[in-house]
Amino acid sequence: MTLEEKMGQLAQYPSQWSDTGPSVPAGRKEDVRAGKVGSFLSHYGAEATQEMQEIAVTESRLGIPLLFAYDVVHGYRTIFPIPLGEASSFNPDLARRTARAAAREATAGGVHWTFAPMIDLSREPRWGRVMEGAGEDPYLNSILARARVQGFQGPSVAADTTVMATAKHFVGYGAPQAGRDYHTVDISKRTLHEIYLPPVYAALDAGARSVMPGFNEIAGIPMHAHDRLINGLLRNDWNWDGVVVSDYTAIWELKKHGIADTDLSAGIQALEAGVDVDMVSGIYGDTLATGVQEGRLRLDDVNRAVRRVLRAKWDAGLFEDPFRYGSPEREDEVILSDSHRDLARTAAQQSMVLLKNEDEVLPLGDGVETLAVIGPLADDARTILGEWAGAGRAEDAISVLDALQNRTGVDVRYVPGLPDVRSTDMSGVDDAVDAVRQADAAILVLGEHYSMSGEAASRTSIDLPGRQQDLADAVTATGTPTAAVLLNGRPLALSTLDDSVPAILEAWYPGTEAGPAVADVLFGEVNPSGKLPMTFPRETGQIPIFYNHKNTGRPPVQDQDYTSTYLDTHWTPLYPFGHGLSYTSFAYGAPKLNKGSITINDTLRMTVDVSNTGDRAGTEVVQLYVEDSTASVTPRVKELRGMKRVHLSPGETKTVRFAVTPEDLTFIGPRMRRIVEPGHFHLHVGTSSADVQTSTFQLTGSTTPIPVTEISSPTQ
């Protein structure tokens, strides 16, 4: 390979967009013929990808196949709930299945490589990209990261129905200053290792073949030049040798960060730090060869990156058959198939969280013959797909209004009430109130337009946008039984809505089958089982607020002076992590431990009986949290270490079992090594992080910290 051809393999360019779909400009086709392109971004579709592959394989000197990459984050054409919504299911098997289905559709469309799962843990709901992740908890994020990687990559990336997964973004991008996207990240090394790195480790441990650094810096070093974390931690400490692909123009942005004054300097720093592929900036393809020719960049470093890219192509089977992905026949067979639509509906059902349900307003009963549907989002078939909706299309999707209008026996009166969710024009509210007065029940569809979350969509307030709260107040003032359905991409501050509306169903952005799934839950065909993967504060001013906080020296006691509370708002969240109600009720028996103390070599076994005390079958997500009572580093008040979905018929009781090992008790010690220390521990088990029963046990053994040799998450 010539030096130029080597650099070509490291260059990734975007496809152009037109009404007929992705297209590549003539000039870029010439680059492919010249061996100057290694991969494309957002070029998909069997026909479009085969055309470019034909040029690469038959018209370039070496005939090296192209890789086609795309952001298949929560679906390719069949769109599943946004990842934050899917995380509410606390169901890794579901996450694995939706990723698997997305990979089947994407590979039929010629895609080899997805830029997903997004594994940015975040406690920052002002940041729009929380919709793409799995919320605030390292354990839940890690479990879902594994599941999604396994779903995308399947048993082997060599299969022509699996795609290379990308653990993105590496690392800490979810902690931007003030919640403003792309802003500086400055977190302690301890927080990095305890909170933000575990999901990365889990994704790589599950076999993710690619990593994408974040746009952010960490404490002064931009991730795209972070040799210590990319080469040092990923490649050396964790022995991972996959492909690191930059984020969009992020190598060029090193100049904006202020650590490079030329394109060449930016390119050299990125490549030496371990970034193999340059997404879109053109620096690797156009400039980096000069660095080698001037002796400023080692050819070995270039060769190392080229080998990784070529191996990814080899592992995908492209050297054996460059055309094995992408098939119009397979597109017809799998895209928007009934089974994928069914899965999308199931995923949407399981993603919904019943936040409150006073007076059993929900489920809507047989007595509801006239239903008022209020709110502009009810009729918005694009918003329900959310951001990062791949090749999803509004025309494939079924809106909430469509589904409700299609229900037999219910006469639906739809009044938007507002022109759109941001509008302050209240002229339509009177019509809405009239419709509600004449109805047996009302559904308020409220939330955020899909463009209000996702990338570059931070908000300074996480209140309901516009005059939606005023619309809700006018509707509830009629006295007609009213429930709110929320379509949104982040936790919202809902104190006022909670005061005014008796029932609130968090539906997130549920995807292509949003409408049927919402109707299934509203009318009780499906009993909601979702739990919050991220805390809902009372007010924006409480952010950051998360369940696994520290006790502090003056733990908060509301209305007690000189404790860690506020003057103007109760210190607790409105809806805590793990919260979610059901149309039935569950009762927990007293937890039982098989022993009161364990040694480092033991496993503690806990059982708890859970009963369905209502008259409707339902699924409960039983949660287990661990608390270290005393440690050489301040412990968190509780940390999720187990979760089990339990389906119970009315009156049924099941014994739920958890096994707790010393590895579940580990933490990052004073010298930044993962250790476990003897002492007293509390086990909290229950229906949410704020509603638990507690039992205590002891870990006995030597008094010195016991280093855990087999770590399940990162250390130094």
The catalytic site residues sit at 247
Angle, helix 263-273 to helix 299-315, in steps of 10 degrees: 60
248 binds ligand GLC (CB under 6 A): yes
Residues of span 612-651 touching ligand GLC by CB under 6 A: none
Min dist CB 283 to ligand GLC, Å, is 16
SS (H, E, C) 176-236: CHHHCCCCCECCCHHHHHHHHCHHHHHHHHCCCCEEEECCCEECCEEHHHCHHHHHHHHHH
**Closer of 247 and 448 to ligand GLC (Cβ):** 247
Min dist CB 224 to ligand GLC, Å, is 12
Count of Cβ atoms closer than 10 Å to residue 184 Cβ: 15
What is the distance, to the nearest Å, from the Cα of residue 192 to the centroid of all Cα atoms in its chain?
18
Residue 162 neighbours by CB under 8 Å, 6+ apart: 103, 107, 152, 153, 154, 155, 156
**Closer of 96 and 168 to ligand GLC (Cβ):** 168
Min dist CB 207 to ligand GLC, Å, is 19
**Closer of 168 and 531 to ligand GLC (Cβ):** 168
**Closer of 71 and 194 to ligand GLC (Cβ):** 71
Residues of span 11-70 touching ligand GLC by CB under 6 A: 41
Min dist CB 131 to ligand GLC, Å, is 12
**Closer of 249 and 496 to ligand GLC (Cβ):** 249
- Dihedral sign computed on CA atoms, order 168, 172, 176, 182: negative
Min dist CB 222 to ligand GLC, Å, is 14
Q: Please tell me whether residue 568 adopts helix, strand or coil conformation.
A: coil
Q: Please tell me whether residue 128 adopts helix, strand or coil conformation.
A: helix
Min dist CB 247 to ligand GLC, Å, is 5
d(CA 304, CA 569) in angstroms, rounded, equals 55
Binding mask 125-164 for ligand GLC (x = CB under 6 A): ----------------------------------------
**Closer of 181 and 602 to ligand GLC (Cβ):** 181
Min dist CB 248 to ligand GLC, Å, is 4
Min dist CB 168 to ligand GLC, Å, is 5
585 CB-contact burial (10 Å; exposed 0-12 / middle 13-18 / buried 19+): middle
278 binds ligand GLC (CB under 6 A): no
Using CB under 6 A as the binding criterion, the count of chain residues that bind ligand GLC stands at 7
d(CA 201, CA 193) in angstroms, rounded, equals 10
d(CA 92, CA 510) in angstroms, rounded, equals 17
In terms of Cα–Cα distance, which of 216, 225, 171, 212 is closest to 194? 171
168 binds ligand GLC (CB under 6 A): yes
Residues of span 430-459 touching ligand GLC by CB under 6 A: 455
Query: Identity (one letter) of the amino acid at 271?
Result: L
Q: Please tell me whether residue 16 adopts helix, strand or coil conformation.
A: strand
Which helix (H) or strand (E) segment holds residue 504: the answer is strand 503-506
For residue 363, give the DSSP letter.
S
Indicate the residue whose CB is closest to ligand GLC: 115
d(CA 353, CA 355) in angstroms, rounded, equals 6
**Closer of 69 and 362 to ligand GLC (Cβ):** 69
Residue 326: phi and psi, rounded to 5, are: 80, 105
d(CA 476, CA 456) in angstroms, rounded, equals 34
Binding mask 79-118 for ligand GLC (x = CB under 6 A): ------------------------------------x---
**Closer of 210 and 623 to ligand GLC (Cβ):** 210
Q: By the 8 A CB rule, do 196 and 202 touch?
A: no
Tell me which of 86, 137, 160, 247 binds ligand GLC, using CB under 6 A: 247
Binding site for ligand GLC (CB under 6 A): 41, 71, 115, 168, 247-248, 455
